[in-house]
Structure 1
Amino acid sequence: MNLVHTYLVSHTPGKVSGDFGRWITVGNCLHKTTVLADTTCLFTPLALPLDYSHYISLPTGMLSLACCTLYGIFWHFDPCCKYLVEYDTYRLSRLPLRTLTSSSRVVLVLKDDLHRKRRHNAIALAALVYYVKKIYELCAV
C-alpha cells in the first residue's frame, strides 16, 4: 500500500470519520449491487429456459436500474467515490495508527476507478438494452 495515497480520517466530535466511512460503504454497496444485478439480468436467459428467465431477469433488471439511478445521482460525481474504506488488518498494521489518540478511526485509500466505471457503465448499458427489449416483447404480446 502506498502511504501517499492513503488518507486517515480520525474521530472528531461530529463523528465525521464514521459518516465518511458509511457514505463510501453505501456507495460501494450500490455499485456492487448494480453490477451483480446487471450480470444476473444478462446471464439468466442463458442459464434458464426462455419461458422462465424473465421471472428472474426482469426483477434484477429493475433492482439494477434503481441502484444505478441512486448511484448516478448521489455518488457518481462525488469525490468520495474514488476512496475505499480499508479493512485489511495486515495493511492497517503497516500504518502509523499508534500515534492517534482516538480508538475510532477510518482509513480511506485512494483508488483509480476509471476501469471500474467503464466496466460498470458497459454492463449497465447492456443490461438496460436487454431489459427494454424484454419489456417491449412482453408488452407486444
Structure 2
Amino acid sequence: MASLGRRRGVPVNRERGVMAATECYIVHEIYNGENAQEQFEYELEQALEAQYRYIVIEPTRIGDETARWVAVGNCLHKTAVLAGAACLLTPLALPVEYSRYVALPAGALSLACATLYGISWQFDPCCKYQVEYDSQKLSRLPLHTLTSSTPVVLVRRDDVHRKRLHNTIALAALAYCAKKIYELYAV
C-alpha cells in the first residue's frame, strides 16, 4: 500500500527527443496483496485526474475496460455527427414528402446520442483520451519497462472541437425536427 498513488513515469531519451516524466504515467501490473485490482483502478484514476499526456495501462482487464469505454464514447460521438448530417442532408437528396421519414428519426438519434454523450462522458476525465495505435508514436514511450506484451496506451487529446461539432449538428438537427413536426401538426 505504500506505493499507492506513487508516480511511476519513466523519462525516455531517444533520437526524436526527450519525454519528460510528467508526460507519461505507467500503471504497472504488480500484484501486491488481495486488493490489486482496486489499486490499479486507483492509479488509473489518479493518472487521468493528473492529465498526463500518455497513460500506459499494463493490467489487461482494466486496459480492455478503458479501451471499450473510449470506443463507446467514440461511437456515440460519430453516431451523433453522422445521424445529424443525415437529418440535415436528407431533404436535399429526397423528395419533400419522403424526406421526413428519414430525417426525423435520424435527427432524434443524433440528439439522443449527443445527450447521452453529454450526460455520461462530459465530466469523465477519460473522455479526454484516445487509444493510441500508431507504432511510430508508441516507439517514443518507455514500453521496454513493461511486463505485459499488450498494454493499452491512452493519449490525451483536446476534445473541444469534437464536442462543439456534435453538439452543433445535434442542435441543428433538433431545430430542423422541431420545425418539421410543427409543420406536420400545424397544417
Q: So what's the TM-score if we normalise by structure 2?
A: 0.68
Q: So what's the TM-score if we normalise by structure 1?
A: 0.88
Instruction: State the Cα deviation string for residues 100-128 of structure 1 (Å, max 9, x = none).
Output: 11123111010011122222221111111
Question: Quick check: 1:110 aligned with 2:156?
Answer: yes
Secondary structure at the aligned position of 1:87 is classed as coil
Distance (whole Å) between structure 2 residues aligned to residue 89 and residue 60 of structure 1 = 37
Q: Which residue of the partner structure matches residue 10 of structure 1?
A: 58
8 Å Cα contact 1:35/1:123 also seen in 2: yes
Instruction: State the Cα deviation string for residues 59-98 of structure 1 (Å, max 9, x = none).
Output: 1112112212211111112111110111223322443323
> What amino acid sits opposite 1:103 in the alignment?
S
> What amino acid sits opposite 1:83 in the alignment?
Y
Question: Quick check: 1:98 aligned with 2:159?
Answer: no
> Which residue, 19, 22, 25 being the options, matches 2:71?
25
Q: Which moved more, 1:131-140 or 1:92-101?
A: 92-101
Pairwise CA distance, 1:42:
0.6
Secondary structure at the aligned position of 1:37 is classed as helix
Spell out structure 1 runs of 4+ moving beyond 3 A. none
Question: Quick check: 1:75 aligned with 2:121?
Answer: yes
8 Å Cα contact 2:111/2:173 also seen in 1: no
Higher relative contact order (CA 8 A, sep 6+): 1
Structure 1, gaps ≥5 residues long: none
Q: Which moved more, 1:28-37 or 1:67-76?
A: 67-76
Structure whose residues are more often helix by fraction: 1
Secondary structure at the aligned position of 1:117 is classed as helix
Structure 2, gaps ≥5 residues long: 1-16, 24-52
Distance (whole Å) between structure 2 residues aligned to residue 51 and residue 88 of structure 1 = 47
Distance (whole Å) between structure 1 residues aligned to residue 157 and residue 66 of structure 2 = 16
> What amino acid sits opposite 2:67 in the alignment?
G
Pairwise CA distance, 1:139:
2.2
Distance (whole Å) between structure 2 residues aligned to residue 75 and residue 85 of structure 1 = 16
Secondary structure at the aligned position of 1:76 is classed as coil
Give the number of aligned pairs. 139
For the pair shown, which has the larger CA radius of gyration, 1 or 2?
2
Q: Which residue of the partner structure matches residue 50 of structure 1?
A: 96
